[in-house]
Structure 1
């Protein structure tokens, strides 16, 4: 006796009807986690705090996250309230901003 499996997973003695069979494109099947999209390395934000000692914080536009910076990493002279572009760099204490420029 030959047994077949129908579209619902049930065993049957009649062969399945292949006329209603749907085609699956193997390239559209995603295995594992979703792919990580690359971020733009240059961020923008506003200087929300700047100390006389040469350090401060930039609030990033997209994530509203505060990023530490030091005046040694500034290309232009920075003041509180300036709109700046920067790159984020991982440091032992979290992220810090480098290559800071004023956006005009």
Structure 2
């Protein structure tokens, strides 16, 4: 007599498949049995109260507040780059006239601020003392309205 072609693992896999199939059929039967047909629309509705919680009872119409559609803000307003109107003083630490940009060291907080040649009122060089205003840009602070301070003779 020959040995069976069915191994232990094949039998176990087949048992698992059969069990899975039976479980699936049982769940399908349960869903069909528990399905309540013929519910009215009112029984299927859910309401949201003033706190945002779901409830089965409709809200009290006496508590309604009228809202003007124009007052409703959707999203936020686009923020424009702010221009701070404070005139600052500083020293040009580096300026490359060929490339058209440089940096100014702010006297007040020793912060290095970017400056572009388009924002210059007077031509500047390294170590010049200047006045400027700071404009916040998407890339960071930038100096605008840059003017060279004239040295006063003593």
Same fold, judged at TM 0.5 (above): yes
Task: Name the SS for the 1:75 alignment partner.
Answer: coil
Which residue in the other structure is 2:145 paired with? 99
Q: Which protein has greater RCO, CA pairs closer than 8 Å, 6+ apart?
A: 1
Which residue in the other structure is 2:133 paired with? 87
Which residue in the other structure is 2:118 paired with? 72
1:44 equivalent in alignment to 2:83: no
Q: Distance in 2 between matches of 1:76 and 1:95?
A: 20
Which of 63, 76, 84 lines up with 2:109 in the alignment? Answer: 63
* Structure with higher helix content: 2
Farther off after superposition, 40-49 or 74-83: 40-49
Which residue in the other structure is 1:30 paired with? none
Q: Distance in 2 between matches of 1:40 and 1:98?
A: 10
Larger radius of gyration, structure 1 or 2?
2
Task: Name the SS for the 2:103 alignment partner.
Answer: strand
Unmatched runs of 5 consecutive residues or more in structure 2: 1-83
Q: Number of paired residues?
A: 66
Seen in structure 2, the aligned counterparts of structure 1 residues 40 and 62 have a Cα distance that, compared at 3 Å, is farther
Given the two structures, how large is their TM-score scaled by the length of structure 2? Answer: 0.41
Given the two structures, how large is their TM-score scaled by the length of structure 1? Answer: 0.61
